[in-house]
Amino acid sequence: MDLKSLIRDIPDFPKPGIMFRDITTLLRDPVGLRYTIDTLGANCSNLSPDYVVGMESRGFIFGTVLAYRLGCGFIPVRKPGKLPAAVYAAEYDLEYGKDRLELHQDAMSPVARVLIVDDLIATGGTANATAELVQQAGCQLVGFAFIIELKDLGGRDRLPADVPVITLVEY
């Protein structure tokens, strides 16, 4: 299936010079959405995660469904102030600014196997910060999965070299 045909390009969003890859058009297509989750599930099943960790907000969409497909739990990583209990925190740079992510300290046991999922990897800041949170929790990072990879931005190079990175579409 040609997933690129289901992903809309929005120029100059959220600021001039950024080409935003909009997955809402993929989400509304039942065949494309099923194909995306089934393909990610097939590509990630050999990683045997105990948990899928998804980042706010589009990582929630794909991560939750993928966790269900893989038969494991889902753990949300949120922006500051959204989680009610004690958290680990990691700051990161975006291609268009700075932000911070948080993970509940009691979300997972230290021996858990974790797969990080998001819709897109660009500069790798969000994914790398999430990997830092998984490390702070003492868990084993078994892989990353993304729908889209923006290859020219080199995000993959910021991730741990010994951890598999699975992507479905490259720009």
Query: Which bin fits 138, alpha (ψ -120 to 50), beta or left (φ > 0)?
Result: left
3-state secondary structure of 99: strand
Give yes or no: 149 in active site.
Answer: no
Give yes or no: 58 in active site.
Answer: yes
Catalytic residue among 58, 69, 78, 113: 58
Is 44 exposed, middle or buried (CB count within 10 Å of its CB: 0-12, 13-18, 19+)? buried
Catalytic residue among 56, 69, 78, 95: 95
CA triple 160-166-170, angle to 5 deg:
110
Cα torsion 23, 113, 92, 99 to 10°: value is: 60
Catalytic positions are 58, 95
